[in-house]
């Protein structure tokens, strides 16, 4: 199933509740590698297929329960040496502390059926449909700096969208 863009509601924004969700949880790296960009990363980051990207994968736990698995794709290879020192906590906070701030540019929400490795790490049944939150972030220079596709356990996540009325009275 493809996601649908609702351009009519371009002023829709995410609350701090969602943006900060899991910020106090324990996040651990599962993987950090240089890899050729996958088709998904190529489409999101507008890079060339096969081009090397930094590919960390993290596991977020809340009260020792696995909440989400996040594969990240970072096209700027200059950050690779610093990223090798990432051991725990928020990856975005880690990058921010190293003068590599990222700002959220786009969020897409869909569902994705869990494959074997994600099923084991998430403690959910194989092929269970999980919310997939795909984000694009930009660096301080405005360039695309990160694509992530977070698989999140639905029963552990609250999604809240706040809508603002348009000037002409539409909601």
**Residuewise pLDDT in 10s, the chain (171 residues):** 333 343 444 444 444 444 444 445 689 999 999 999 999 999 999 999 889 999 999 999 888 889 899 999 999 998 899 999 999 988 988 988 887 889 999 999 999 999 999 999 989 999 999 999 999 999 999 999 999 999 998 877 777 777 776 665 555
Separation in Å, CA 160 to CA 15, 38, 157, 169: 7, 31, 10, 22
Strand order in the sheet with 129-139: 26-36, 52-62, 65-73, 144-152, 129-139, 102-113
pLDDT number for residue 167: 62
Whole-structure pTM value = 0.78
Domains annotated on the chain, with CATH:
12-162 (3.40.1410.10)
Q: What is the pLDDT of residues 69-97, one digit of tens each?
A: 999 999 999 889 999 999 998 898 898 88
């Amino acid at each position: 199933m493809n996601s649908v863009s609702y351009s009519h509601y371009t002023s829709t924004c995410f609350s701090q509740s969602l943006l900060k969700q899991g910020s106090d949880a324990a996040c651990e790296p599962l993987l950090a590698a240089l890899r050729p960009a996958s088709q998904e990363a190529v489409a999101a980051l507008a890079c060339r297929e096969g081009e090397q990207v930094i590919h960390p994968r993290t596991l977020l736990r809340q009260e020792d329960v696995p909440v989400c698995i996040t594969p990240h794709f970072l096209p700027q290879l200059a950050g690779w040496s610093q990223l090798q020192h990432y051991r725990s906590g928020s990856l975005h906070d880690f990058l921010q502390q190293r003068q590599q701030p990222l700002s959220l540019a786009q969020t897409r929400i869909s569902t994705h059926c869990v494959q074997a490795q994600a099923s084991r790490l998430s403690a959910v049944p194989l092929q269970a449909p999980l919310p997939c939150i795909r984000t694009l972030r930009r660096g301080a220079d405005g360039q695309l700096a990160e694509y992530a596709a977070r698989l999140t356990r639905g029963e552990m996540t609250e999604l809240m969208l706040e809508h603002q009325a348009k000037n002409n009275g539409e909601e």
